[in-house]
A and B are shown apart, each in its own frame.
Chain A
């Protein structure tokens, strides 16, 4: 090994070395290191890159780098009609695809002033709540897996497979199903699917209790998460938190109660709120929300009336296929809507729903043409990732992973 010469050493260290006479080896070595938690890492939250500045194992600073999944949704929305964009909304928050469909379709209907029949509204509520349960199951499972409990992941995925079976019967696709249409839903809910949904919510409670038995009083789980990633009420509102993360910090705010949409004012459900604002509180909020969503689905299945599933506006809503093949006006309307799009009046609208991660909103500007002039997607994961530097300051590297898991970002939504 060659001896270090004066040119190899950093000038600041050299100066310090020359000043002090009783210097130890720890002083001479700089302790700060920049670590790259790259876009590809085992915590299954997608392609998020974090640059961490470490002092030993403690995090001093953190810079998130997003954009590795930026697919250009907003630019594509300006070039295709409102109908053609429905499959794209599936791939935004890809763990709960039906909820995004519902959000987009509600925004377009608000812009165009279209009323939807009651049965379709109840079906949309049911699929949105099923999507919320699916998303929270994956969130709980992968969060537990990040912290070290590998079994819970497989059990929650097993429950999620049952939901995917329900969607398979309902509309033919397990996942990324574009089931809603402007003016209603694509096809009627079969009695098979409704019976299976009822069976699912009835047995969900027991299976969820099994997973909880492993985690809720587990000493390792609690010590790993208690007091980690604390955010206060004022900071949470200032950072733009919505959804389960905000409810874990003490603010009882839920868009289903504040600005009711669909038929949420007719069903009865609690809003679980915790005040500590740490990762454990965010976990408990999600588990409680799964139970509340199951309650909502039971009530929806009881209240759902018989009736039509698509409204009857020839110029804006696609007509039924059987009529397109046999009647003249429906054929012409189908042609016009598919080729030129529905033409909502000039104006702009912002509509948000309570998605499973937070407030998912669409801002649409229309100039009277068949495609939007501007479409902005307000994605909750993007906003939550912004607060990561505030949450991880002073923590260790393994806490960073637990905090990311508790915030639950999905990069497909954050990067648009």
Chain B
């Protein structure tokens, strides 16, 4: 069976209650899912002996600015056995800006999620250590949101005296 059909079959068999959207763009296979099931689905993808998605390459977010679900959290995972890359997407709304963490599945997503929190303000439930990583701790804004200006807000960061 072809790999993409295998993946969609396994996901549909194990999670029948979740609605999944499969799409393909420029030879990349995308799966869109509900944010509540992200942790069990990732666990299945990693531990299944046929799929073996052992390497989590990237966890990031996109800000769409004027849509009902403002953010989309995007996961890129890679299977060394098949040399195949899969893209998972989950929509997060601004009013309920939280999603479950996958750091229990792949340890590398710890810092990636901290970076997403620092830049966008999306909280990750059950994260072992959620705090800012690039900006200083007392910074109050989230830089990569579309309403934050490129030149920054004067007075938000301090300089030493001359």
The stretch that binds A, out of B4-12, B14-22, B106-114, is: B106-114
Q: Which residues of B contact A237 (CB under 8 A)?
A: 54-55, 80
Using a Cβ–Cβ cut-off of 8 Å, how many residues does chain A contribute to the interface with B? Answer: 40
Q: Are A258 and B83 in contact (CB under 8 A)?
A: yes
Closest chain-A Cβ to B119's Cβ sits at a distance in Å of: 8
Closest chain-B Cβ to A11's Cβ sits at a distance in Å of: 28
Q: Determine if A70 is an interface residue (Cβ-Cβ < 8 Å).
A: yes
Q: Determine if A363 is an interface residue (Cβ-Cβ < 8 Å).
A: yes
Q: Are B63 and A374 in contact (CB under 8 A)?
A: yes
Given A70-B135, A349-B26, A386-B110: A373 and B62 within 8 A (CB)?
yes
Q: Are A238 and B106 in contact (CB under 8 A)?
A: yes
Q: Are A240 and B106 in contact (CB under 8 A)?
A: yes
Q: Are B150 and A363 in contact (CB under 8 A)?
A: no
The secondary structure that dominates the B interface is mixed
Q: Are B134 and A415 in contact (CB under 8 A)?
A: yes
Q: Are B57 and A365 in contact (CB under 8 A)?
A: no
Closest chain-A Cβ to B43's Cβ sits at a distance in Å of: 13
> Which of B54, B58, B74, B110 is A361 in contact with, Cβ under 8 Å?
B58
Closest chain-A Cβ to B82's Cβ sits at a distance in Å of: 10
Q: Determine if A36 is an interface residue (Cβ-Cβ < 8 Å).
A: no
Chain A residues 241 to 262 lying within 8 A of chain B, measured CB to CB, are 242, 251, 253, 258-259
Chain A residues 213 to 241 lying within 8 A of chain B, measured CB to CB, are 235, 237-240
Closest chain-B Cβ to A293's Cβ sits at a distance in Å of: 22
Q: Determine if A264 is an interface residue (Cβ-Cβ < 8 Å).
A: no
The secondary structure that dominates the A interface is mixed
> Which of A67, A348, A352, A382 is B57 in contact with, Cβ under 8 Å?
A352
Nearest residue, chain B, Cβ from A68: B134
Q: Are A350 and B87 in contact (CB under 8 A)?
A: yes
Q: Which residues of B contact A333 (CB under 8 A)?
A: none
Using a Cβ–Cβ cut-off of 8 Å, how many residues does chain B contribute to the interface with A? Answer: 34
Cα distance A80–B42 in the bound complex, in angstroms = 35
Q: Mark B45-83 against chain A: 1 for CB-CB distance below 8 A, else 0.
A: 000000000111110101100000000001010001001
The stretch that binds B, out of A18-26, A71-79, A202-210, A272-280, is: A71-79
Cα distance A271–B106 in the bound complex, in angstroms = 26
Q: Are A240 and B62 in contact (CB under 8 A)?
A: no
Given A347-B25, A350-B76: A378 and B57 within 8 A (CB)?
yes
Q: Are B57 and A359 in contact (CB under 8 A)?
A: yes
Q: Are B62 and A374 in contact (CB under 8 A)?
A: yes
Q: Are A240 and B80 in contact (CB under 8 A)?
A: no
Nearest residue, chain A, Cβ from B76: A350
Cα distance A387–B108 in the bound complex, in angstroms = 8
Q: Are B80 and A253 in contact (CB under 8 A)?
A: yes
Closest chain-A Cβ to B88's Cβ sits at a distance in Å of: 12
Q: Are A239 and B107 in contact (CB under 8 A)?
A: yes
Q: Which residues of A contact B76 (CB under 8 A)?
A: 350, 361, 363, 378
Q: Are B58 and A67 in contact (CB under 8 A)?
A: no
Q: Are B134 and A67 in contact (CB under 8 A)?
A: yes
Q: Are A238 and B108 in contact (CB under 8 A)?
A: yes
Q: Are B25 and A386 in contact (CB under 8 A)?
A: no
Q: List 4 additional A-B contacts (Cβ < 8 Å) besides A235-B107, A386-B111.
A: A240-B57, A251-B80, A349-B28, A386-B108
- Which B residues fall within an 8 A CB radius of A? 25-26, 28, 54-58, 60, 62-63, 74, 76, 80, 83, 85, 87, 106-112, 115, 119, 133-136, 143-144, 148, 150
- Which A residues fall within an 8 A CB radius of B? 66-67, 70, 72, 74-76, 79, 110-111, 113, 235, 237-240, 242, 251, 253, 258-259, 347-350, 352, 359, 361, 363, 365, 373-374, 376, 378, 382-383, 386-387, 415-416
Closest 9 CB pairs of A and B: A240-B108, A67-B134, A70-B134, A258-B83, A386-B111, A376-B60, A238-B107, A237-B54, A378-B58
User: What would 27 A/B residue contacts be, using CB atoms closer than 8 Å?
Assistant: A72-B143, A74-B144, A75-B150, A110-B26, A235-B107, A237-B54, A238-B106, A239-B108, A240-B56, A240-B106, A240-B107, A242-B55, A251-B80, A258-B80, A347-B26, A348-B25, A350-B28, A350-B58, A350-B85, A363-B74, A363-B76, A365-B62, A382-B115, A383-B111, A383-B112, A386-B108, A386-B111
